[in-house]
Amino acid sequence: MSDERNATGGILLAFITGAIVGAGVALLMAPATGEETREKLKDAARRTREKLDEAASTLRDRMS
């Protein structure tokens, strides 16, 4: 059972990491000014951090 949880956590982490990298590349490739792009990156990073905090909390609750 513990191995399944570790595998699920690894898959979730890989998915989230891929989403972050994909979002960053999409923002950097979009035609916008540097200031607009930096603001979008800040917003995306903030939202991602909130989602990661929530996911980590959920995983901690499931593991206890």
Over residues 25-46, mean pLDDT: 82
Confidence of residue 1 (pLDDT cuts 50, 70, 90): very low
Stretch 23-29: mean pLDDT: 79
pLDDT of residue 40: 82
Q: Is-contact 12 55, C-beta < 8 A?
A: yes
Q: State both tokens at 23.
A: 């979002």
Closest CA to 63 of 15, 11, 10, 2: 2
Which has more confidence, 32 or 1? 32
Specify whether the CB–CB gap between 27 and 44 falls below 8 A: yes
> By percentage, how much of the chain surpasses pLDDT 90?
5
Q: Which residue would you say has higher pLDDT here, 6 or 50? A: 50
CB 48 within 8 A of CB 5: no
Of the candidates 39, 42, 41, the residue with the CA atom closest to the CA atom of residue 25: 41
